[in-house]
Structure 1
Amino acid sequence: MNLHALRLFHVIASTGSVTRASELLNISQPAITAQMKKFEKELSLSLIKPRGRGIALTDAGEKLSLLADRLFAAERQIEQFCQEYRDGTNGHIRIAATYLPAHFLLPTWIGKFKRQYEQVEMTITTTNSSDALKQLLNMEVDLAIYGGLPEKYPNSILAEELFRDELWFVVAPSHGFANRQVTLSEMMQVPFVMREVGSSTRERLLALCRTYSAPSPRITLQFNGLHEAITAVIAGYGANFISSLVVREYVERGELSRVYVEGVHLQNTIAVCTRKDEPLPAVVTNFLKLIQEGA
């Protein structure tokens, strides 16, 4: 079927006038009339009939006009859909985030983003740092929001640092080390409550002990979430090594206390990671811009 001729017919049917269609399309009336006769011959159907000084649609023309309405309405929807994807106002963002940004940063970022881009779908997977980068490399997600050390990123990943936060040792206020300064070896005598293997802060603690030739931490209680680990320490069991973003309010409220370890001043890097040399969809670029401005 000649879609150009169908479009001409659709305009004629919509306006009820060859003259008006000619003006709208900037095509001469004789040219439109000739194309309509050719179109009717192609379809072996009569679509338009004379009525007084104007025209009217035949029964077949009426029904074809309804179908053409649907077709060109779908065309407009497709055009709008494509434009929204080009502008980044529609689409789907898939994010893998470690526990720290997933719980303490992403909710605010996503809230701001969705107020501006309501139609954008977002899927967030909360996992440990190793799995977040694995999902990014396997093209399961568009972004990985990661807390850890920059040198641990694979070469195929582009990491942009957003900011840094301190890593603290914390215990319950009733603990003998609360608000005291101790050596790293002394700190390692305390049982630790930590997240699962693969957690970036857990790896940082192990690396810290190796660097200073201190005993390895005794991780006697392990949880898959931050909240559970913090609650156990608040209840009076062991110590935790954790981002200040997570426990600052607990310390300020007096539910936890810091332990100051001699010579240890570590920071955690919060970074957003993408696949290197891969163009990003507009919707992902818009989200990145928002978190870069907010960091």
Structure 2
Amino acid sequence: MNTHALRLFYTVAEKGNVTRAAEELNISQPAVTAQIKKLEQEINLVLLVPKGRGVLLTQAGLQLAKQAKRLFSLEKEIEDYIGQLKSGCVGRLRIVATYLPANFLLPKWIARYKQIYPNVEIELTTTNSSRAIDHLINFKADIALIGGRREFNLLINSKKLFEDEMLFIVHKNHRFASKKIALSEIVKEPFVFREEGSFSREKLVSLCKINNVDKPIIGLQINGLNETIRTVIEGYGITFVSALEVNEYIARGDVVKVKVDEVELKNPISLCTRKEDVLAETALNFIQMIDV
């Protein structure tokens, strides 16, 4: 069926007059009439009959006009939806992140984003840096937020958002609380460490090597950030963490920083995307909204 002719017929049916329909469509009256005649021939039905200066819809014309209204209403909905897709107002955004950005940065950003784009579906996956990169490379995520990693796969574009300060944390009554201590002294104390492979643990060990200092004593190894911090809050050992992870506890006075002369380490937070990939508007809008 010629949908162009159908649209002309529908407009005439709505206006009740060929002349008014032709004016709205910016087409000559004879052209409108000719197209409708062709449509009637194509479907072998009479749709319009003359009535004074206007036209009258036949029974077939009335029924077809109803269906045409449904069709062109749906077409308008589709056009509107395409516009929303182009602007990023609808669709899906898949984010993969490591623990630090997933817990201390993304909740605020996602809440703000959803207030602006409530119809965008967001899927957040929290995992380690290696798996986050795999998700990105294998198109299981649109963007990745990764903390603590500096070298990335050649298929990945990375942009450093900011660097978080690394801190030594102790109980408020610890003898090193709020004091200035040498690295060689603090490593003699028992440390509460995350699992092997964690960014903070690797960086502290590297720092000791660079400064020719013995490795820190591992008093406890705990597979969990909250558990690690809680252990220090309860009065045992020292831990080395990113500031974002403990700012809340420091503000409440649950733990205290220790100033260590030789240490000035930063924990980078990076935004990662696939190279040569065209990001959807949902992802672009999210990236533009990020502030740190």
* TM-score, length-scaled by structure 1: 0.89
Q: Distance in 1 between matches of 2:156 and 2:202?
A: 20
| CA displacement at 1:228 relative to structure 2 | 3.0
Q: Distance in 1 between matches of 2:173 and 2:60?
A: 88
Matches within 5 A, 1:1-295: 1-150=1-150, 152-212=151-211, 214-215=214-215, 218=218, 220-224=220-224, 226-291=225-290, 294-295=291-292
Q: Distance in 2 between matches of 1:238 and 1:94?
A: 39
Q: Tell me whether 46-55 or 262-271 shows the greater mean CA deviation.
A: 46-55
Query: How many residues in Structure 1 have an aligned counterpart in Structure 2?
Result: 291
| CA displacement at 1:268 relative to structure 2 | 0.9
Q: 1:133 to 1:187 in 2, by over 3 A?
A: farther
Q: Distance in 2 between matches of 1:277 and 1:253?
A: 46
User: Match of 1:112, as an amino acid?
Assistant: R
* TM-score, length-scaled by structure 2: 0.90
| CA displacement at 1:236 relative to structure 2 | 2.1
| CA displacement at 1:106 relative to structure 2 | 1.4
Deviations 1:103-142 (A, max 9, x none): 2211222222222222222111122222222211221111
Deviations 1:60-111 (A, max 9, x none): 2212111111111111111111112222222221111122212221122222
Conserved in 1, the CA contact under 8 Å of 2:193 and 2:218? no
| CA displacement at 1:191 relative to structure 2 | 4.2
Structure 1 residue runs without a partner (length 5+): none
Q: Distance in 2 between matches of 1:217 and 1:72?
A: 73
Q: Distance in 1 between matches of 2:219 and 2:47?
A: 82
Conserved in 2, the CA contact under 8 Å of 1:11 and 1:21? yes
Conserved in 2, the CA contact under 8 Å of 1:128 and 1:200? no
**What is the CA RMSD across the aligned residues, in angstroms?**
2.2
Q: Secondary structure at the match of 2:289?
A: helix
| CA displacement at 1:216 relative to structure 2 | 5.8
Q: Secondary structure at the match of 1:34?
A: helix
| CA displacement at 1:217 relative to structure 2 | 5.2
Conserved in 1, the CA contact under 8 Å of 2:171 and 2:234? yes
**Identity rate, percent:** 46
Q: Distance in 2 between matches of 1:195 and 1:56?
A: 81
Conserved in 1, the CA contact under 8 Å of 2:180 and 2:260? yes
Q: Distance in 2 between matches of 1:210 and 1:21?
A: 84
Q: Distance in 2 between matches of 1:85 and 1:147?
A: 30
Conserved in 2, the CA contact under 8 Å of 1:148 and 1:270? yes
Conserved in 1, the CA contact under 8 Å of 2:91 and 2:120? yes
Conserved in 2, the CA contact under 8 Å of 1:129 and 1:198? no
| CA displacement at 1:243 relative to structure 2 | 0.8
Q: Tell me whether 27-36 or 127-136 shows the greater mean CA deviation.
A: 127-136
Q: Tell me whether 199-208 or 267-276 shows the greater mean CA deviation.
A: 199-208
